[in-house]
Amino acid sequence: MRITIVGAGFSGSTLATLLASSQDDAPQVCLAGIGDTFARGVAYGEARPEHLLNVRAGQLGADPDAPGGFADWLKLEQHERDAFLPRRAYGEYLAERLREARRRSKNLSLVEQEVVAINAVGEGFRIHLDDGRYFASDRVVLALGALPPQRLAGIGPRLAHSDRYIAWPWQDDALARIEPTARVLIVGTGLTMADVGASLLAQGHSGPLVAISRHGLVPQRHPPSPLAPIELPPSVQQALRAHDVRALLKAMRSLAHVVPDWRAAVDALRPHTQRFWQELDEGQRERFLRHYRSHWEVARHRIAPKVADQLEALQASGQLTVRAARLLRASLREGSAEVLLRDRGQEQARLEHYDYVIRATGLDTDIVRTSHPLASYLYETGLIDADPHGLGVRVDESLQVLGRHGQPIAGLHCLGPLLRGHLWEITAVPELRAAARDLARKLQEDAAAFGTALRRHSAGGLERELALSAGT
């Protein structure tokens, strides 16, 4: 059996290493992804030196059975394992794990090409690459990561195509072209905004920064050292069992007032969030997303203390202003961005001028409106269907993708942030590595059932088939 993993970021490379084997009867595994960020993905492949991990080093092992693997790889002392290290170091760790898996295995092939189309053919699939080649696969896993950022609503066409609008801060070293004294509007106040602030500070920016979002909330900081775990009280457990978002919020607020640190209460809730989300009806999910999502995000997805110190210093000095506001319109006027903003609770909008507008709104998982070539193709052909809240791809309990009419697409699975509609909490390493382990077990079971008699390719079959598809 051949398994093709599409996307070589954290989820894809982790699944590939879990499936890598030196056994002769193991299924063939092909990992396909863009060469520039292969094994690292966008999160770690495009990170700058000043970007820090948002999880302590001692908890970031990619193997779910060895959470200390990253710290072990770095040979960190015990007191160093609580540090928040540069993301680039984590990217190197992921790349080294994949290289080692490729070296010791007999069944793992790497294809540094973008997959642009997938078609169902018989009981399998045909995978098309961006260089025109194609090959067959019995199982496919979509591990696409977050989708490319969409254009912000209200951004005029002239501004959108000018250097004054930066849709993706980490592409082509976009922030480096910003003059030190430039006036900058950052749309978004979450984790991406924190990274943008750190990068601008590192390059000596002295001009005014304004960050806006609907609620004007910024990520909370991690404590200096790990907190002692706590148990959830009966009031919280009852709200979880009742699948009641409002009751859960009320119980958590009460708990936060009586525990030594509110962050311990949020951490204690984390193991229950996936099941709680899955058991909510669509109305409860909509209520959470509309009223509580922003508050949950800043409390749950926290930043390293050093980054929090930088943001607080920028705010204290007056260089950074964080506002609860909405961007209504932004146009290019005489070489700068003319922006119409309406602050929360105000009827009157304000006309302001900035030298640059930066999109920093975080993860995009909306497959209906995306510009991602493969996601668009699969959605348009009906091979995948969209979560009704724009949270990714619809799947069943085994992470098998559902097609346009709600039917499972046999052999087509999904892994990573596009599972937010199904699991909600599926963007951080602990949840991603657990999902990768569970899917690896499912695929290994499929391979065993598939049977060695049905294997159609030898260990070098992928390379030969790619050559044949190119006419060589």
447, 413: one domain? yes
Is-contact 70 125, C-beta < 8 A?
no
Q: What is the largest CA-CA distance in the chain?
A: 72
284, 300, 316 - which closes a domain: 300
- For residue 222, pLDDT beyond 70: yes
Residue with tokens 């999109």: 359
Q: Determine, yes or no, domain membership for 227.
A: no
311, 335, 359 - which closes a domain: 359
Q: What is the mean pLDDT of residues 69-86?
A: 96
CA–CA dist 262, 271 (Å, integer): 16
318, 252: one domain? no
Tens of pLDDT along 169-195?
Answer: 988 889 999 999 999 999 999 999 999
295, 308: one domain? no
Q: Which residues of 425-437 are buried (b: 16+ CB within 10 A; e: fewer)?
A: bbbbbbbbbebbb
Q: What is the mean pLDDT of residues 198-207?
A: 96
**Considering only CA atoms, which of 402, 357, 393 is closest in space to residue 372?**
393
Q: Determine, yes or no, domain membership for 226.
A: no
**pLDDT value of position 17:** 97
**pLDDT value of position 453:** 40
Tens of pLDDT along 419-458?
Answer: 999 999 999 999 999 999 999 999 999 999 887 445 444 4
355, 242: one domain? no
Is-contact 47 191, C-beta < 8 A?
no
Q: Determine, yes or no, domain membership for 125.
A: yes
207, 347: one domain? yes
Tens of pLDDT along 109-162?
Answer: 999 999 999 999 999 999 999 999 999 999 999 999 999 888 889 999 999 999
Q: Determine, yes or no, domain membership for 168.
A: yes
Is-contact 48 127, C-beta < 8 A?
no
- Name the residue type at position 103: R
Q: What is the mean pLDDT of residues 206-225?
A: 96
**pLDDT value of position 435:** 97
CA–CA dist 90, 13 (Å, integer): 13
- Domain of residue 78: give its range: 2-148+365-469
Phi, psi (5° rounding) for residue 82?
-90, 5
Q: Determine, yes or no, domain membership for 75.
A: yes
Q: Average pLDDT, whole number, for the chain?
A: 93
Q: Determine, yes or no, domain membership for 229.
A: no
What tokens were used for 361? 């709104």
CA–CA dist 416, 382 (Å, integer): 20
Q: Determine, yes or no, domain membership for 228.
A: no
- For residue 339, pLDDT beyond 80: yes
Q: Count the domains in the chain.
A: 3
CA–CA dist 453, 286 (Å, integer): 48
CA-based torsion, 195, 198, 203, 208: positive or negative: positive
In sequence order, what are the beta bridge partners of 395? 401
Stated pTM of the model:
0.92
246, 312: one domain? no
**pLDDT value of position 461:** 54
How far does Cα 254 stand from its chain's mean position?
Answer: 31
333, 380: one domain? no
**pLDDT value of position 363:** 87
Question: Among 221-225, 333-337, 344-348, 457-461, which stretch is predicted with the lowest mean pLDDT?
Answer: 457-461
DSSP letter at 213 equals E
**Considering only CA atoms, which of 43, 44, 13, 51 is closest in space to residue 29?**
13
Contacts of 123 (CB under 8 A, 6+ apart): 138, 410, 411
Helix H, strand E, coil C: the string for 116-182 is EEEEEECCEEEEEECCCCEEEECEEEECCCCCCCCCCCCECHHHHCCCCEECCCCHHHHHHHCCCCC
Q: Determine, yes or no, domain membership for 105.
A: yes
193, 239: one domain? no
Contacts of 172 (CB under 8 A, 6+ apart): none
196, 98: one domain? no
Tens of pLDDT along 245-263?
Answer: 999 999 999 999 999 999 9
CA–CA dist 278, 285 (Å, integer): 9
25, 125: one domain? yes
**pLDDT value of position 458:** 46
Contacts of 14 (CB under 8 A, 6+ apart): 62, 94, 432, 433, 436
253, 269, 300 - which closes a domain: 300
CA–CA dist 103, 409 (Å, integer): 33
Tens of pLDDT along 18-74?
Answer: 999 999 999 999 999 998 889 998 889 888 999 999 999 999 999 999 999 999 999
Concatenated DSSP letters for 409-440?
A: EEEEEE-SGGGHHHHS--SSHHHHHHHHHHHH
Degrees, nearest 5: CA angle 113-116-121: 110
71, 119: one domain? yes
Share of the chain above pLDDT 90, in %: 89
Q: What is the mean pLDDT of residues 71-97?
A: 96
What CATH number is given to the structural domain containing 126? 3.50.50.60
75, 43: one domain? yes
- For residue 467, pLDDT beyond 70: no
β-bridge pairing 134-137 and 124-129: antiparallel
What angle separates helix 293-300 from helix 262-269, to the nearest 10 degrees? 100
